Amino acid sequence: MPERVREELPGLANRFETFVFDLDGVVYRGKQALPHAVEVLNLLQESGRQVFFLTNNSGATRQQYAEKLRAMGVDAQPEQFITSAWATALYLQRALNPGAKLFVVGEPGLKQELCAAGFDVVDTVETEIPAAVVVGIDRAFSYERLAQAQYAILNGARFIATNADATYPAEDRLLPGAGAMVAAIATATGHKPRVIGKPNPQILQPFIERGVIQPERTLLIGDRLDTDIALANLLHIPCALVLTGVSTRDDVACAPLEQLPQWVLNDLSELLGDAVNNLLVHGV
């Protein structure tokens, strides 16, 4: 792989060597790329910056996310994607025996990531209690799936959530996220899940420990205060909130300190603008 040649960039972007972008509400909404996202992402990579994508959405594999961005015109490879589905598979490889049975409330992308990690994804819990129930976004979620998940957890299966996002941004509105399914199962069982995705720092910690991501030289860009910005602050990574997704300026005004970003951007083009103009000054 050829060595990256660093070129000067205008504005805020020039301060950093690595960028970690959320996807939904930051790069796109549904099937629609957000304004300036494609141009900015390609410019960052062409200028020698390292770019990663970090998403709580467990609905697709890393390969599928790369294909989606390439179809939009972004030069993207699967290795650049850190997804809650992939992170959950890595966690379970450490926590469970190889080939353990899993009952999955989730979509094909999550199941594919778990199967690729060597697990046996089962369709029913009636004949044998699985080692864990893994929950992600599931647009076909049903009472039957809820009842099976409940039965397994009440009989000893671990309760693992890829993420607990209540919503995610589609093209023209917010839709229920994986957190809605997680909440239903938590209510039915009286059990709290182990949540793998943002803001759990475990999702990025391996990259930091290997030196792939150096917090002080990295900018994390997200659209949610409670996941993206909270994660960045836990890991002492500089962060920017972009107002093209879930959180708003009003949300920022009443957010707790641990969810406050350093910068607030109207869209990704402002990464190339004056850093001072977008600086969030915290009053005391």
SS3 per residue for the chain: CCCCCCCCCCHHHHHCCEEEECCECCCEECCEECCCHHHHHHHHHHCCCEEEEEECCCCCCHHHHHHHHHHHCCCCCHHHEEEHHHHHHHHHHHHCCCCCEEEEECCHHHHHHHHHCCCEEECCCCCCCCCEEEECCCCCCCHHHHHHHHHHHHCCCEEEECCCCCEEECCCCEEECHHHHHHHHHHHHCCCCEECCCCCHHHCHHHHHCCCCCHHHEEEEECCHHHHHHHHHHCCCCEEEECCCCCCHHHHHCCCHHHCCCEEECCHHHHHCCCCCCECCCCC
Active site amino acids: 22, 24
Tell me how far apart the alpha carbons of residues 222 and 201 are, in angstroms, rounded to a whole number: 15
